[in-house]
Amino acid sequence: MEDLLDNRYKASSWRTISAGLDKWRETAAIYNWTAVIPTDDPARGGKLAAHVMRLVDDTSLAYKSIEGYMWGMRTWQTLQAQADPIYGVMGWDGFMDAVKVLTWVPSEPRRATDMTVMGNILGAALTMYDEYQQGVGEHTLQDVFVSTQHANVSLALLYTFSRSESPLPKNFTGPESFNASQHWQCKDVSHRVLSARQAIGYRMKIIKQDQRMERPTAAGNEDWSWVGSVDEEKWDPVRWCLKLASLHGRTRDPDEPYFLSRDMTRPYTYSAALADHYKFQRAVGVEEADLTGLHGCRVAGWNATKATLGEELAQAHGLWAQTRSARRYDRFALARVERIPSAIAGLDSGDRVLPPDPGEFNERPAGPPAERLTRGVMEPGAAGSSSSALVVRAPPEEDAVPPGWTSELRSGEHLSRSYRVFHGPNGEFAPSRAAAWRVHLTNEEDVPHQASVVPEGAVLASPTQSVHSVPSASGRLSPNRTRGRRSSPSPVAESPPRDLLQMARQQVQADEAASSISEAPVVYATVDEYVGARGGPVWDRPSSRRPPVPRNVQ
């Protein structure tokens, strides 16, 4: 049973337990206490508090270290068949919170490996390999093997975001030595065409966040992380994998460790890989203070993928986010997955929208105009459109009337404001200058209904806001309402008399019954213009700035 309990913790956890026990033995020796705290010891709260305060006095320890030491010491007590000593100690959580406030130190993020440094290391390794193959220089097989294998390890961590414990054991023998259920074997590295490119696949087994391979992606031991080929040779994981295989000079056992030490027999350990990583960084001119560990490759790959192809793909590729029913790449096209190495190497811009090149723009000679524009400037409508016309925004001038037409100013105390009406040479009547121009152009046989050029001051009504009038059999104009959406009625200050509206409705009905549409219609902007063209009275139409008066006409 004791062996079963001891087997619960892995080697790294046992290191924490041992370190915590050593700290506790030092405290117990000072106060002449036994190392084992018996269950229900009435002094256990004071012993624990004294031990924590001694750790707080050591200013080299941050809270995370103190917390780890306490966990290791308490765990060791439970392995001695005693209850956890903090059980039943009132206020212990508050006491540890106060310790945390006093001793907390913000942790520093892992530094990413500089991609320029990585490129220089890979370039030097490629040159050494080529010189060895050509028989140039004094490179030995072991030197070239170490350099080539370091390139493979670095690119594997860079492109898969894997931790170093997946490919590399800690020791040759004993605890944390090579474990076939965790570390990469030759059969765990595969080659295939992923979508449109060749790719290298690395099978992920036991990882830090999944010690029992319970994640859905590991079902059937088929959790593969795929990395596509890269156009530039020094960044290409496929070609580096083939170079490493050529140096072995033999058919390898599928069950042997994929990465081997310098003797090409034993597993390649983490300490050896880290030492080689530092050595190759120094060789390309990196200062001691700027050296980064193997974990920096993983950080650099994550940062570059997140910035180019998006955080969702980066999380799925590195197994930071997953659903219970989905595999690693279920939500992503393999054509996008295989771009990850190129994006990390800076050869694929990813999904980012790059800013336009400033050299593609031509400067416009901007400057003050010779003459400032005014609202009276005429603007042409769309060429070729049946509704194209010239729009005049300035108020009409009195003299801009059709030839032979005259204007009359009407005013009086019964009117809220004065207005003008217009009379034609043949007895025509128009309530506005725009209506006068429309009547004038309609009467001209050689001028089409929709003129392409309209004198200043004429405003053609929008087709969706007009009432079409056609000649009746009697020669009089009758309205034909436009089909489609009705426009909002124009607001009026004073409602027209009921008898006038009734007469207009009766006349419209009579004209529609007797009319035959044989000529192009005349466009009136409002009912006021239509009634005014018949010679009837025109009621006052207020400015749009006035609030509209509710209409009560039935």
Give the E-state strand segments of 371-466 in sequence order: 406-410, 419-423, 429-430
- 92 with 142, same domain: the answer is no
- 93 with 224, same domain: the answer is no
pLDDT category, 8, cuts 50, 70, 90? confident
Integer Cα distance of 554 and 540 in angstroms: 20
- 89 with 146, same domain: the answer is no
Length of the chain: 554
The DSSP string of 340-356 is HHHHHTTS--TT--PPP
- 447 with 426, same domain: the answer is yes
- 168 with 309, same domain: the answer is yes
- 213 with 334, same domain: the answer is yes
CA atoms within 13 A on the CB side of 320: 15
Strand order in the sheet with 419-423: 406-410, 419-423, 429-430
User: What does pLDDT average to over the chain?
Assistant: 78
Choose among 254, 240, 228: nearest CA to 154.
Answer: 240
- 66 with 145, same domain: the answer is no
Determine which helix (DSSP H) or strand (DSSP E) holds 144, and give its type and residue range: helix 141-160
Across the strands, what pairs with 225?
202
362 occurs within a structural domain? no
Residue pLDDT, tens place only, 315-365 = 888 887 655 556 788 888 888 999 999 999 999 888 866 666 676 667 778
Question: Which of the 8 DSSP states describes residue 216?
Answer: G
CA angle 54-109-286, nearest 5°?
110
The phi and psi torsions of 211 (rounded to 5 degrees) equal -75, -15
- 93 with 178, same domain: the answer is no
Average pLDDT score over residue span 112-136? 93
pLDDT category, 452, cuts 50, 70, 90? very low
Chain centroid, CA 197 distance in Å? 26
Domain of residue 34, residue span: 2-103
272 occurs within a structural domain? yes
Across the strands, what pairs with 477?
471
Query: What is the pLDDT at residue 473?
Result: 39
Query: What is the pLDDT at residue 125?
Result: 95
Q: How many domains does the chain have?
A: 3
Query: What is the pLDDT at residue 395?
Result: 42
355 occurs within a structural domain? no
295 occurs within a structural domain? yes
458 occurs within a structural domain? yes
Helix axes 44-57, 11-31, angle to 10 degrees: 100
- 193 with 132, same domain: the answer is yes
Residue type, 433: R
Query: What is the pLDDT at residue 486?
Result: 44
CA atoms within 13 A on the CB side of 109: 7
Per-residue pLDDT for 471 more than 90? no
- Listed residues 103, 124, 154: the one ending a domain: 103
- 269 with 121, same domain: the answer is yes
- 76 with 178, same domain: the answer is no
319 occurs within a structural domain? yes
Residue 369: CB atoms within 10 A of its CB come to 6
Average pLDDT score over residue span 406-421? 84
Q: Is 265 helix (H, G, I), strand (E, B) or coil?
A: coil
Residue pLDDT, tens place only, 379-401 = 444 444 444 343 433 444 545 78
Integer Cα distance of 249 and 245 in angstroms: 7
